[in-house]
Amino acid sequence: MKLYVHPGASSLSVHILLREIGEPFDLEVVNVTAKQRADGSDYRDVAPRGMVPVLEHSGGERLTENMVIAQFVCDRADRRDLMPAPGSMARYRVMEWQSFVAAELHKSFIPLNWAIDGPMRELVTARIRSRLAFVEQGMAGLFLTGDTFTAADAYLFVIASWTRFYGIALDTHPKLAAFLRRVGARASVSAALHAEGRGMVTPDDPAPAP
């Protein structure tokens, strides 16, 4: 199994899960902005949409989309702590958060990469903060769905860590700031960050102080 990632991009969430699972896998760090693979060739030959993550299965089949790859790797390893059993309410709670992180939070950050300034940038930042407030209010325990670390937490960790990269303070989100420190201290996260190298989530201090 091989995972294609860009340092600190959303692909880091799947990378963390693979390290939580502990089965061997190959990793290729690509430059998703330049669409360039480690050997300089065009990444679009691997991923026609030009995005990370891509998971290449041993049979050569390739799977895309964070949420789907996360479910695939956790189900395959029968890791019900990371992804509860199909049909259980607990699973739908994890999927509910995965969907929220994907559609409402992850994509809200994208305009910050554009040449926007002043009121428009403030608008985008306010929107991100409002979504982070939902997370702050909705966190059911130490993690999103309770006191067990799940696939949704791996995804939230990556996207919420981008607040540091973009200079968005978490002073009014103490539970989320504590969550980032807690998840950042996991061995899987530290190993994944070091393997990917410098990116939008820093290996040394991924969690902002509250």
Ligand X SMILES: N[C@@H](CCC(=O)N[C@@H](CS)C(=O)NCC(=O)O)C(=O)O
DSSP 104-166: IIGGGGGGGGSS--HHHHHHHHHHHHHHHHHHHHH--SSBTTBSS--HHHHHHHHHHHHHHHT
Which residue lies nearer to ligand X by CB, 174 or 197?
A: 197
Q: Pick out residues in 43-62 that bind ligand X (CB under 6 A).
A: 50-53
| Contact call for residue 5 and ligand X (CB under 6 A) | no
| Contact call for residue 104 and ligand X (CB under 6 A) | no
| Contact call for residue 108 and ligand X (CB under 6 A) | no
190 with 203: CB under 8 angstroms? Answer: yes
The count of residues interacting with ligand X (CB under 6 A) is 12
* CB-facing half-sphere around the CA of 170: CA atoms within 13 A: 24
Binding mask 55-94 for ligand X (x = CB under 6 A): ---------xxx----------------------------
Which residue lies nearer to ligand X by CB, 53 or 208?
A: 53
Q: What is the DSSP letter of 44?
A: G
**Minimum distance from residue 36 beta carbon to ligand X (Å):** 12
Burial of 122 (0-12, 13-18, 19+ CB in 10 A): exposed
Binding mask 149-188 for ligand X (x = CB under 6 A): ----------------------------------------
4 with 50: CB under 8 angstroms? Answer: no
**Minimum distance from residue 2 beta carbon to ligand X (Å):** 16
Angle between helix axes 11-21 and 187-196 (nearest 10 degrees) is: 130
Q: Which residues in this chain contact ligand X in the complex, by CB under 6 A?
A: 6, 9-10, 32, 50-53, 64-66, 102
